[in-house]
Homo-oligomer: A and B are copies of this chain.
Amino acid sequence: MSGPRVASAGPLVMSTIRIACLQLAPILGDVEGNRGRALDAIHRAAADGAGLIILPELASSGYVFADADEARACAEPAGGATASAWAAAAAELGVVVVGGFCELDDDRPYNSAMLADPSGIRAVYRKLHLWDREKLIFEPGGAPPPLVDTVHGRIGLGICYDLLFPEVTRRLALAGADVLVFPTNSPLLAPEPEAAPMEVAVALTTAYQNRVVVAVADRCGTERGVDWVGGSVIADPFGHSLAGPPDDRRVPSMLIADVDLAQARDKRWGDRNDLIGDRRADIYGDL
């Protein structure tokens, strides 16, 4: 009666990994300054023992562009200075770095994120689901969110609003992701931050429903009048927050948590259930 099991994941090189989510305050248009501050934060996280380090969405450039030309002026190719610097840091420090950057390809700007490990850039992903004025500025992505097998686990990568789509998160989990990472810029839509932002609830629930780690690196720092949720969080595979959201969500902070990837590879629940094996693909087909 149960659906097909996930394709078996490779053996775990390290079962417990330390994750850092870097809630930064990029400055719009200050690509060099943002690169330097992000590198500093990556070094601090690695010094604290983090093996998987996540930066916000558009950490290279800031977010509140007036138009596509302004984004284009901040954009870099996937092999450009920012992505190369992050990849070099990943190699130097022996870590995995994930971060959002403003990508230029064929003169078109994309809201992208890259994943680098010590061997180099492993994936560049262009945001599929564009939020609000992003639709006026960026080209939408044309390929599914990637799943990358690293020494720090099998990592699925989306960006911000992508997290709201179970088509993204469930598929990455079914493909065998241990950790879902979301570089994020969540504009504050309500005037006052709620005690428990829905963005955080979605991260926790996604972890719980799929028995995966979910790590969100949001941003802070008012930009052209826009404030941010500051909803960075690291959720364990049972839907509990291990770190975040920060007490003061409006200032830069670094969330650190140790997660046991073996928990994410064991979908059993009690003696008779399996969160993935219980799927009734015979009824609703594969996702």
A-side residues, CB < 8 A to B, are: 1, 128-133, 135-136, 140-144, 161, 164-168, 170-171, 196, 198, 201-202, 204-206, 208-209, 238-239, 270-273, 275, 278-280, 283-284, 287
Copies in the complex: 2
Q: Which residues in B have their C-beta under 8 angstroms from that of A283?
A: 128, 141-144
Q: Which residues in B have their C-beta under 8 angstroms from that of A280?
A: 128-129, 140, 165, 167
Would you call A209 and B167 a contact (CB within 8 A)?
no
* Closest chain B CB from A195 CB (angstroms): 11
Known: A205-B205, A272-B132, A272-B133. Is A284-B167 also a contact (CB below 8 A)? yes
Closest residue of B by beta carbon distance from A164: B209
Known: A144-B283, A198-B239. Is A273-B167 also a contact (CB below 8 A)? no
Would you call A167 and B279 a contact (CB within 8 A)?
yes
Q: Contact check: which of B135, B271, B287 meets A167 at CB < 8 Å? A: B287
Would you call B140 and A1 a contact (CB within 8 A)?
yes
Would you call A208 and B198 a contact (CB within 8 A)?
yes
Q: Contact check: which of B144, B171, B202, B284 meets A171 at CB < 8 Å? A: B284
List 14 A–B pairs whose Cβ atoms lie within 8 Å, in order of A's numbering: A130-B278, A132-B273, A144-B284, A161-B278, A164-B208, A164-B209, A164-B275, A165-B279, A166-B166, A167-B170, A171-B284, A201-B205, A201-B208, A202-B205
Q: Which residues in B have their C-beta under 8 angstroms from that of A133?
A: 272
Q: Which residues in B have their C-beta under 8 angstroms from that of A164?
A: 208-209, 275
